[in-house]
Amino acid sequence: MNSESSERPTPVNHDAEIDSLFGPESLLGHAVGSFRPRLAQTEMAKAIARAIGNQETLIAEAGTGTGKTFAYLVPSLLWGGKVIISTGTKNLQDQLYLRDIPSVRKALSAPVSVALLKGRANYVCHFHLERTLQNGRLTSREDVGYLREISRFMKTTSSGDKAELSRVPETATVWSLVTSTRDTCIGAECQYYQDCFVMKARKEAQQADVVVVNHHLFFADLALKDTGIAELLPSANTVIFDEAHQLPETATLFFGDTVSTSQVMELCRDVLAEGLSHARDGADWPATVTTVEKAARDLRLAFPQDVVRLSVNQIAPSSAFFPALETLKDKLDDMIAVLERQAERADTIEQCRVRALELATRLDAWNKPVTEVMIGQESVLWVEAFSSSLQLHRTPLSIAPIFNKQREGTARSWIFTSATLAVKNDFNHYNAQMGLWDEPSQSWPSPFDYEKQGILYVPDNLPQPNSLDYTDAVIDAALPVIQAAGGRTFFLCTTIRAVNRTAERLREEFERRNLPFPLMVQGEAGRTELLDRFRAAGNAVLIGSQSFWEGVDVRGDALSLVIIDKLPFSPPDDPVLAARIEALEKKGLNGFMHHQLPAAIINLKQGAGRLIRDENDKGVLMICDPRLISKPYGRRVWQSLPPFRRTRELAVVCDFFADIAREKLRTLDT
């Protein structure tokens, strides 16, 4: 990753200092009450310190409970220079900024300044808030109340970060009306430019020693730099990716492009509102937008099915899709011509014109293979239809060449860390996805005693996962285990359909058997609220799909059983997956063994990682998929999981839970 002109630094060794800092009587021990010395954490910190000192790359897998956050914070705060830490989620970002970094900084007396930087949709925009207050377009009483809260918040906040205003849910629709996007930001022309929270956050980030971002923001910035937008993130000596297993998916999202009929409809809504507000006499605005809206709807209706995913070469040449796409482009051009004639009447009409031009350019570019030659990178063109919208995707076949291009130039260290990067200590799949060939990688095991703390249970006599009655068979097998566990269950499904069926059946069964377990289902409330209710209940059953497989931490008695319905292979109708498998097979590789299986194992490791979060946790991981036993690759799957005791007998599982209950009673008695 270093340019040839860069000089390698003199090798640095901080091992003795690390031993001292992570020792039993260390500064960390005195400052952080829960801190305990762990050999794996100390060794990981040494490896990271070496990578930082030598401006090298390190891929670092650390099992749950290793304490990887402190393992990278200590060396980076002491020796990292200008550091960017990128996390998988905004929650983890806030935890680092508000809790972990202040703890370590205080313990080390490290004189570093720290800034938190999020995407612009997280900051209230003065301009859009004022417009929303003035135009009164809110339809629900709830949104009116939320808007009042946001208006009050603006009088006292110094950051404008919506995470500080917990009284307004993150999912409230009003947020989209009081924040900006790259399309709707007026920039330096805005009357509030000097007070802009986004600009303030960026300025602080430029000046800080440590900047905490999230993967979405990091890759959005890399993607925008390719289009000549000013660099958002400051140049750094050290870049650390926590939850690095998420990077291939996030980078794919940002290095690709998606344009949708929803964006066209939103633009039409804004064109109508701004046209009637500022240039009512300038055009027949309702007629102007109606033809574009109809063309967008007709494009969606080119596919009669409810949900569809097709690569462009799977769409029949005789399909209504291609003529409908040309019609939408033509009607959008007509609207742009109207906007150009009226753009001088108001800044907001000019803004709509710019947005319309960008949408037209992206629609036009979607089916033209022009950029492939420029960036030496193949893309997959595909469409995805939902009930009321259609998305046109251009997705890179591999992000490795693009990401490697971004890592060239200035010498710096890159640290990639997560609990799930390898398959049985083999990092090849991850390294190939990210283009990190020949870079050093290391794995440190969890300090937990998995053999004593947990059991891996694969029930007997289940049908094959493609059977029509599979989900019901899984529920039948799960019910006695849920009873033995006393609730306290995460039921993780690989599809939303399975979530819904499981919720329906468990409701019926709990009522019929008079089981007192509160049932919580993904989608019935926000993730944070569901988790809070789950922890508070102490005997609940939570049913979720992908969003509960990772980034969820429930310690203690509230969670003792994790049920996974089947191995999390990507859906077979995914056009990007199909194209990647085809590319591998052209190279003589096996697409299943080299891509689908390792990806599923890494995902499964995340789901399994929800169970044991603490050295006192105990529980059962129940994986219902018979392929774990019947297929030759099954051994590779379970050998990649934590080394639990393994059983196929329900009685062993029930005895395990009975022992836990007896132990708890003895503890209460003493």
CATH of the domain at 439: 3.40.50.300
- Residue ranges of alpha helices (H) inside 109-196 are 126-135, 141-156, 175-178
Give the single-character DSSP code of 377: -
Q: End of a domain among 150, 178, 194? A: 194
Q: End of a domain among 194, 217, 240? A: 194
33 burial (CB, 10 Å; 0-12 / 13-18 / 19+) is exposed
* Radius of gyration of the CA atoms of the chain, in A: 27
Based on the domain organization, do 25 and 143 belong to the same domain? no
Asked, for residue 462, whether it belongs to a domain, the answer is yes
pLDDT of residue 372: 42
Based on the domain organization, do 467 and 323 belong to the same domain? no
Query: One-letter amino acid identity for 88?
Result: G
Pairing of strands 390-396, 454-457: unpaired
Based on the domain organization, do 461 and 548 belong to the same domain? yes
User: How far apart are the C-alpha atoms of 157 and 6, rounded to whole Å?
Assistant: 44
| 257 phi and psi angles, rounded to 5 deg | -145, 140
Q: Residues 53, 11: contact at Cβ < 8 Å?
A: yes
Helices (H) and strands (E) in the chain, counts: 29, 18
pLDDT of residue 407: 85
Based on the domain organization, do 359 and 210 belong to the same domain? no
User: How far apart are the C-alpha atoms of 216 and 407, rounded to whole Å?
Assistant: 17
Secondary structure (3-state) at 570: coil
Quote the number of domains for the chain.
Answer: 4
Based on the domain organization, do 494 and 615 belong to the same domain? yes
Pairing of strands 83-87, 210-214: parallel
Asked, for residue 125, whether it belongs to a domain, the answer is yes
Give the single-character DSSP code of 111: -
- What's the domain range around 85? 15-119+198-254+401-444
| Long-range pairs, 104-111, Cβ under 8 A, ≥24 | 104/28, 104/32, 104/70, 104/73, 104/74, 104/77, 105/77, 106/31, 107/27, 107/28, 107/30, 107/31, 107/32, 108/21, 108/27, 108/28, 108/74, 108/77, 108/78, 110/77, 110/78
Asked, for residue 1, whether it belongs to a domain, the answer is no
User: How far apart are the C-alpha atoms of 378 and 360, rounded to whole Å?
Assistant: 22
Asked, for residue 334, whether it belongs to a domain, the answer is yes
Asked, for residue 595, whether it belongs to a domain, the answer is no
pTM: 0.88
388 burial (CB, 10 Å; 0-12 / 13-18 / 19+) is exposed
Based on the domain organization, do 27 and 59 belong to the same domain? yes
Based on the domain organization, do 295 and 227 belong to the same domain? no
Q: How many CA atoms lie within 13 A of 548 on its CB side?
A: 30
Distances in Å between the alpha carbon of 400 and those of 52, 184, 437?
A: 22, 32, 10
Based on the domain organization, do 276 and 340 belong to the same domain? yes
Per-residue pLDDT tens over the stretch 61-79: 999 989 999 999 999 999 9
In total, the chain counts a number of residues equal to 670
Compute mean pLDDT per 10 residues along the chain, 670 residues long, and list them: 46 85 79 78 96 95 92 96 91 90 91 92 92 78 90 93 88 88 81 92 90 90 57 77 95 90 94 92 94 96 86 89 95 96 90 93 80 58 92 93 84 94 93 93 94 96 94 97 97 94 96 95 86 94 90 88 95 88 93 94 93 92 96 94 96 95 78
Based on the domain organization, do 525 and 435 belong to the same domain? no
Asked, for residue 312, whether it belongs to a domain, the answer is yes
| 564 phi and psi angles, rounded to 5 deg | -115, 125
User: How far apart are the C-alpha atoms of 637 and 604, rounded to whole Å?
Assistant: 9
User: How far apart are the C-alpha atoms of 274 and 298, rounded to whole Å?
Assistant: 25
Based on the domain organization, do 560 and 483 belong to the same domain? yes
Listing DSSP states for 228-260 in one string gives TPPP-SPP-SEEEEETGGGHHHHHHHHHSEEEE
Output the domain CATH number for residue 293: 1.10.275
What is the helix (H) or strand (E) element at residue 357, kind and residue range? helix 347-366
Asked, for residue 7, whether it belongs to a domain, the answer is no
Q: End of a domain among 143, 174, 194? A: 194
User: How far apart are the C-alpha atoms of 600 and 595, rounded to whole Å?
Assistant: 9
Asked, for residue 594, whether it belongs to a domain, the answer is no
Based on the domain organization, do 291 and 356 belong to the same domain? yes
Based on the domain organization, do 534 and 653 belong to the same domain? yes
